[in-house]
């Protein structure tokens, strides 16, 4: 019976979440393709064996396939689902059909279609945040300890996970970000922390310890810190925002998340941050299940918006096979005024595919190691 409960909490929400985000991404490609006159032959959620399909009046075959780990839009004249190669029979298309085949379009149209997928993910995230901010209020992370770093001041003082920090040196703590703000103001290293543990108030007095921290420019410095990490839960600041202010704040939130993600990726590339933090599809499923078991609909919506931003951002990376790789090629064609040969594209996309597979294997290994420690540590 336990396996059935876990399937409900982990598998079902994960499939629903991924299905929504893939649909949003591919619908962005689909919508701009239709607007620019490109024929979409197939729109699939998932890969592999087709479980359900229906063809609309425009000739697009809408599909739900057996492996729900992605999706694709296949345009007229495509040789594969990623639009990286042309169908060998594309040359046999009539002149009228070539007007609606993807590979015979000018690079400006191709560029717009390639950007539409990541753009749709970003727009979807902004809409989710706008709805939350407008109807409920701003989201914030509560001052609840999710993790205590080893050998930190917090660890030595006895601070534990799930402790809620109430004050630092007499100053009220309302949000997790307030912790760093108050700690940064301490000059003598001495700190008094009032916290709530299992509804029981406690007061701890101790001295801060220096820990390494990454700056905005990626440099590593040492500064006095508590050594705690936030939980994945959120709280709502109930304040009335106009629709415009909600949209404005949602756009800022989306930008901040993107900037933070890029800094993290940059630190991994330069070796200033461990590659063990890189997670894959199993990690996403694990986090989705944890949220569905322990949190509510609001947390699920916020997590979906975060993943949508990450999906859009990752697809903009200039790696062949991803949308970003296509974008680079189309920009080169626009600048040079010449189309890149199919042979060059084929080599680039094979290299890009190999890189993506290597990253997926590495991320999956990290996921299994993390799960092993979670289950057996």
- Copy the structure tokens of residue 193: 């922390």
CA distance 330 to 324: 10
CA atoms within 13 A on the CB side of 211: 20
Question: Whose CA is closest to 180, among 228, 217, 242, 137?
Answer: 228
Exposed / middle / buried, residue 95 (Cβ in 10 Å: 0-12, 13-18, 19+): exposed
Within 198-339, where are the H helices? 243-270, 281-294, 297-315, 323-336
Neighbours of 54 (CB within 10 A): 9
Q: Are 53 and 74 in contact (CB under 8 A)?
A: no
Dist. CA 159–CA 173, nearest whole Å: 16
Residue 317: alpha-carbon gap to chain centroid: 13
Which residue among 26, 96, 192, 286 is the active-site one? 26
Is residue 26 part of the annotated active site? The answer reads yes
Q: How far is CA 250 from the centre of its chain?
A: 16
Cβ 250 vs Cβ 133: under 8 Å: yes
Residues shown for the chain: 377
Strands (E) in the chain, as ranges, are: 40-55, 61-75, 138-140, 145-148, 164-168, 171-172, 190-197, 200-207, 209-214, 220-225, 228-230, 235-237
Question: Residue 186 is inside which H or E element, if any?
Answer: none
Report the alpha-carbon distance of residue 295 to residue 299 in Å, rounded. Answer: 6
Q: Give catalytic residues, as residue numbers.
A: 26
């Amino acid at each position: 019976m336990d396996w059935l409960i876990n399937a409900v909490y982990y598998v079902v929400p994960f499939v629903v979440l991924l299905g929504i985000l893939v649909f949003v991404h591919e619908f962005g490609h689909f919508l701009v393709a239709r607007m620019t006159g490109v024929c979409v032959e197939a729109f699939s959620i998932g890969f592999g064996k087709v479980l359900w399909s229906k063809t609309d009046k425009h000739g697009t075959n809408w599909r739900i396939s057996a492996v729900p780990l992605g999706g694709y839009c296949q345009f007229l004249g495509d040789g594969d689902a990623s639009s990286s190669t042309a169908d060998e029979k594309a040359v046999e298309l009539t002149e009228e059909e070539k007007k609606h085949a993807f590979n015979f379009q000018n690079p400006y149209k191709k560029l717009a279609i390639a950007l539409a997928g990541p753009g749709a993910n970003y727009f979807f995230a902004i809409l989710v945040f706008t709805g939350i901010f407008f109807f409920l209020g701003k989201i914030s992370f509560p001052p609840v300890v999710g993790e205590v770093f080893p050998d930190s001041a917090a660890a030595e003082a006895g601070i534990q996970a799930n402790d809620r920090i109430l004050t630092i040196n007499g100053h009220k703590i309302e949000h997790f970000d307030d912790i760093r703000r108050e700690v940064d103001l301490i000059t003598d290293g001495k700190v008094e922390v009032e916290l709530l543990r299992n509804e029981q108030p406690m007061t701890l007095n101790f001295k801060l310890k220096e820990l390494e921290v990454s700056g905005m420019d990626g440099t590593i410095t040492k500064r006095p810190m508590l050594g705690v990490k936030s939980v994945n839960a959120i709280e709502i600041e109930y304040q009335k925002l106009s629709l415009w202010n909600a949209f404005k704040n949602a756009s800022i939130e989306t930008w901040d998340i993107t900037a933070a993600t890029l800094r993290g990726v940059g630190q991994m590339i330069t070796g200033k941050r461990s590659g063990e933090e890189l997670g894959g599809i199993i990690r996403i499923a694990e986090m989705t299940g944890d949220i569905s078991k322990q949190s509510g609909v609001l947390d699920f919506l916020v997590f979906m918006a975060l993943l949508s931003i990450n999906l859009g951002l990752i697809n903009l990376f200039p790696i062949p096979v991803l949308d970003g790789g296509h974008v680079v090629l189309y920009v080169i064609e626009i600048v040079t005024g010449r189309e890149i040969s199919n042979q060059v594209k084929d080599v680039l996309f094979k290299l890009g595919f190999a890189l993506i597979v290597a990253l997926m294997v590495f991320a999956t290994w990290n996921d299994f190691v993390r799960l092993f420690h979670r289950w057996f540590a």
